[in-house]
Structure formats: structure tokens, C-alpha cells
Structure 1
């Protein structure tokens, strides 16, 4: 996948002309009208890897299913298990699972997205680079000292284990 990004795509004007002549609909239209049950985030602030400033590791589903803890690992830049969307509904999601914490002391897990906020409602604060769990008011932390476990801790502005970088290297929009 990484290699495809570096290949010149060539002239696509014929394909664009065909699309216009056939009056093709957008991918957003397809998702809204043909496949509305898709978990593809249509409205998001960010899509890509989420990197911890202290450990330089990325959020990673580790291939786990819903109800299991989310992990972090070497940022490989290949997408897959490390692609997360921060949606305009305040979800941090990968496929149809969202970051979820039942309380401020419970483990951070991937749970099927329900769209009702609550345990799955997060806010990314660009100024502090913190991912805040709104129900508990605590910050997502990846700690070297705690076997690299992800947890919710009281927010501390200076703690780099609570700072996360969201910078997308690829663009996808459902327009």
C-alpha cells in the first residue's frame, strides 16, 4: 500500500469525462442512500494514525475484536489496524468499533459504535494535544511505566504520555 502512494497515477481525464457523461453520483451519496448502515465515517475531523508523543507509538486495534482492550504499537504508516477516525460526533473509531471506557478507572476498549456518546464520547484538544474522555473528564494516556498500557488518568498538561498527534498523511473524503 505504501508503494502505491509513490506511483504517478497518469492522465485520468478520460475517466473523469466518463463519470460526468454518465452523471455518476458521489461516494457520499452512495454511503447515504445505498449503504447507510456502513460504519464509514462521513463527517470527521481527522482520519489516520494517532501517535503518542512520549512513546512514539500509535493507537492500534491489534486485530482484536470488539470488547477487547485497544493497544499501541510501532507506527508503521501502512494503515490497517492503525487507522482511526476522530468523528464530528466525538467518536474515536476504527471500522465499526469505537474507543470506549465505562468509567475513569476502567480499561480503554474497542466496543461496537453505538452513536449515543456516553462511554464513547471523546474530545481532542488541539492546544494540549489531549484526548479527553468526556464522561469522566480524564485523559487517554500511554505509559512506558505501566507496561505500555492505555488508561484514563487525571489530565496533566505537561505529561507527554497524555499528548497525541493526529496528522493525516492521506486524504479521503466521501464527496
Structure 2
């Protein structure tokens, strides 16, 4: 993604309901977030094996930013920390996959490309995460990716 495209994405985020506040959050500039910084209680922190979420492995700037915003959105929805960590894990895998395909521009991501990513293992988890984030990003008007979940495709073909 070009620098200009990243600026366009940031502008969309600023114009969104949640993004305006979140882009000002100092947490976004950090690549390691603690469970405590996200507002989880000490009790929840004790239950969770992972105490931190790491973003430093992301190489695609727009995906890193959207992943951080996704975490903030899921925390706001009172999502379980385990689910949030799993989503970050699979978005890191997507980052690596897209780099391997030479695709770092979200405008070039197709339904087939996301389908290929999903088919490379742990399909149920990958599909679940992709379905959730694509819907969130579109609902928040941050990014619209061309993706139709497999279940919906099967229904449409009947």
C-alpha cells in the first residue's frame, strides 16, 4: 500500500464513529499491548495464559493498523481475550500470506485470494476470523474487501 493509500485509510478511520477517538489513543503507537492496558481485570489476566498482544510481526502497515483497531473494537464489545488473541494470530498469518503473494495493497485483495488463504490450513479458524474482520471493517467504513463467506456462497449457488 502506498503512503498515500495509508493516509486515505487513516482519513476513513478518522471519519468513522469509533476511529476518531481511537487514532488519538497512545496505545496505537505501541507494538506490545498488555491485557491490563486493554482494561481487563486482574482476574481475567490470571485466567489468560497470554498477558500481552504483539503487533511487531506485522509487515503491512494498513493491516497492522486495522488489526489494532479490531482489537479495540472487540475489547469495547467485551470480547473474550482468548478470541482477540486468536484473531490477531490469524491476521498475522494473513499478513505473511499477502506478503508472500506480493500483495500489500488492499485494493488487490480478491475473494479468491482470501479463499486461498483460508484453504491453507486451520480453515474453520481462518474463515471465522476473516468473516468477522471483513464485516467489522466494512461496518465501520474503514475498508471494504471483496469476500463472500463459503456458507453464503453455497446458499447463493442453490
TM range (shorter): under 0.3
More helix by share: 2
Larger Rg: 1
TM-score for the superposition, normalised by structure 2: 0.26
More strand by share: 1
TM-score for the superposition, normalised by structure 1: 0.24
